[in-house]
């Protein structure tokens, strides 16, 4: 892991130093959460902690949580209960943080009675102090309102792939979504700070960066000074990093200028994650998504006309309270028409303090499960067909991991297709060419030809 400081980093001299304590960070949820865990690790490392991978090796265990769906919350509650055995065996501290405490507040102590302290989505620089106080027997819920931006040390897990947060929070307020409550309103980082971080990563030899935001293409709308996502991408496109990605995009903010930049800048990858959520206009209105099916399809057409090799992936929700069978059929027909590379689908889960909570949860669990499975079946069928079209081609792959038990490596193409190929551990972190010889719904299969860089 690589400890880095970002622009405006907190003064490490002001952080309480706790020598010889070992911390383990467990993470649920989106890429933003995983990057937030890198910041948590950075804060703790700067304060003298050792970061370990296994809870069994730790003196303090931090759970960075997600509450986008009830299933995510249930997993965290179950994990805290499992970890309680470590408290019985030795004096391990358990801290539950992130979105769940931000949304549930101190009542989370009743769901996780063995938790020693709670922390929210911001105020992370105070974690060393919280841990010290928990050591003294205090039971604290430190959950400040998510406003402003924090600048924290980062302990990156990779030496060749990096996350770069360009904005925190969301001001769109979809009916089903708890994110505006737990992450706060849209707060864009100044462009100069982002560019400085990306330049530093380029100088350190990073092969790929991923720009992060709840609605990444809404970047700059809160600054009211002409700053835009397209302008940021244009500047980053001139920096010497082989691959630039971004996630997650909202269809309402994908402008013509952004599309032009995607088509023109050579280091921006041919992949857009564009969350559609439903194929039914009736459901989209109830969800407060801000676009129609026709508008979404027109956007897809413009994107593919400008970038013919583009892979579009998406998020879908089945079983939204107003979704009837005819609405679900429209979602299936949208999947057929767009032919998404990957569909991330979830059954609707009521979230506290959201407009949709008042609608109840009328679609049965069994019906949600059926619809979810139908979406998965269709998405896998299309993914297999798309992958079979690549057999015989040569693709550029950034190798992410070696699988010693298989004698293979795994990585991603520029357009975000997973590739499994024969190869050794020396290829990790490099760009290679793979000749595709087979396909599954989940991956392209082949053999490594030669390094590109």
State pLDDT tens for residues 93-115. Answer: 999 999 999 999 999 999 999 99
Give the integer Cα–Cα distance in Å for 161 and 180.
28
Q: Where in the chain is the domain with CATH 3.40.50.12160?
A: 2-142
Cross-strand pairs, 222 = none
Q: Which residues make up the CATH 3.80.30.20 domain(s) of the chain?
A: 154-388
* pLDDT score, position 453: 54
CA distance 166 to 210: 10
**What average pLDDT score do residues 145-169 get?**
96
On the question of pLDDT at 411 being above 50, the answer is yes
Range scoring the smallest mean pLDDT among 17-26, 283-292, 360-369, 371-380: 17-26
Q: Is residue 178 pLDDT above 70, yes or no? A: yes
**Contact of 323 with 281, CB cutoff 8 Å:** no
Q: What pLDDT is stored for residue 452 in this prediction?
A: 53
Q: What is the pLDDT of residues 49-79, one digit of tens each?
A: 999 999 999 999 999 999 999 999 999 999 9
- The predicted structure's pLDDT at residue 171: 95
**Residue pLDDT, tens place only, 306-336:** 999 999 999 999 999 999 999 999 999 999 9
Residues 5 and 12: their CA atoms lie apart, in Å, by 10
394-451 maps to CATH 2.40.50.140: yes
How confident is the prediction for the chain on average, in pLDDT? Answer: 94
pLDDT beyond 80 at 20: no
Yes or no: say if 452 and 411 are a contact pair by the CB < 8 Å rule: no
Beta strand pairing status for 243-247 and 167-168? unpaired
CA atoms of 421 and 407, how far apart (whole Å): 9
Answer whether residue 6 shows pLDDT above 80: no
Share of the chain above pLDDT 70, in %: 95
Residues of the chain with CATH 2.40.50.140: 394-451
Residue 16 pLDDT > 60:
no
CATH superfamily, region 154-388 = tm_1862 like domain (3.80.30.20)
Q: If you average pLDDT over residues 19-25, what whole number do you get?
A: 89
pLDDT digit string, tens, across residues 246-295: 999 999 999 999 999 999 999 999 999 999 999 999 999 999 999 999 99
Judged against a pLDDT cut of 50, whether residue 203 lies above it is answered with: yes
Q: Domain 2-142 sits in which CATH superfamily?
A: Methylthiotransferase, N-terminal domain (3.40.50.12160)
% of the chain with per-residue pLDDT over 90: 93
Q: Report whether pLDDT(1) > 90.
A: no
Confidence band, pLDDT 50/70/90 cuts, at residue 305? very high
- Measure the N-to-C terminal CA separation of the chain; round to a whole number of Å: 23
């Amino acid at each position: 892991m690589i400890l880095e400081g970002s622009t405006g980093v907190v003064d490490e001299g002001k952080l309480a130093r706790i020598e010889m304590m070992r911390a383990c960070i467990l993470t649920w949820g989106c890429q933003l959460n995983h990057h937030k865990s890198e910041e948590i690790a950075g804060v703790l490392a700067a304060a003298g902690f050792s970061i370990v991978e296994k809870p069994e090796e730790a003196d303090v265990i931090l759970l960075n949580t997600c509450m986008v769906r009830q299933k995510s919350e249930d997993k965290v509650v179950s994990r805290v209960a499992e970890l309680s055995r470590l408290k019985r065996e030795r004096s391990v501290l358990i801290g539950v943080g992130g979105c769940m405490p931000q949304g549930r507040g101190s009542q989370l102590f009743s769901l996780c009675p063995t938790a020693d302290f709670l922390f929210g989505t911001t105020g992370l620089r105070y974690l060393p102090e919280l841990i010290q106080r928990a050591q003294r027997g205090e039971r604290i819920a430190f959950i400040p309102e998510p406003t402003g931006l924090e600048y924290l040390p980062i302990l990156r897990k990779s030496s060749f792939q990096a996350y770069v947060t360009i904005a925190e929070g969301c001001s769109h307020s979809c009916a089903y979504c708890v994110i505006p409550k737990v992450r706060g309103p849209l707060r864009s980082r100044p462009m100069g700070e982002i560019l400085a971080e990306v330049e530093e990563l380029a100088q350190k030899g990073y092969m790929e960066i991923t720009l992060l935001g709840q609605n990444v293409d809404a970047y700059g709308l809160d600054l009211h000074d002409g700053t835009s996502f397209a302008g940021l991408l244009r500047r980053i496109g001139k920096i010497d990093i082989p691959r630039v990605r971004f996630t997650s995009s909202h269809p309402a903010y994908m402008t013509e200028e952004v599309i032009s930049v995607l088509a023109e800048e050579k280091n921006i990858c041919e992949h857009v994650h564009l969350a559609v959520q439903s194929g039914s206009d009736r459901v989209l209105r109830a969800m407060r998504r801000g676009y129609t099916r026709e508008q979404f399809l027109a956007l897809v057409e413009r994107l593919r006309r400008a970038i013919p090799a583009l892979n579009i992936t998406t998020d879908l929700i089945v079983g939204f309270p107003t979704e009837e069978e005819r609405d679900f059929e429209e979602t299936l027909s949208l999947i057929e028409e767009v032919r998404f590379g990957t569909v991330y689908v979830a059954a609707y889960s009521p979230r506290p303090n959201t407009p949709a909570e008042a609608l109840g949860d009328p679609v049965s669990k069994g019906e949600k499960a059926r619809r979810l499975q139908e979406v998965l079946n269709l998405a896998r069928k299309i993914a297999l067909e798309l992958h079979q079209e690549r057999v015989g081609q040569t693709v550029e792959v950034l190798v992410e991991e070696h699988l010693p038990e298989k004698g293979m490596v795994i990585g991603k193409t520029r357009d975000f297709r997973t590739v499994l190929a024969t190869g050794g551990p020396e290829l990790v972190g490099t760009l290679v060419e793979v000749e595709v010889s087979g396909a599954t719904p989940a991956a392209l299969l082949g053999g490594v030809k030669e390094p590109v860089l």
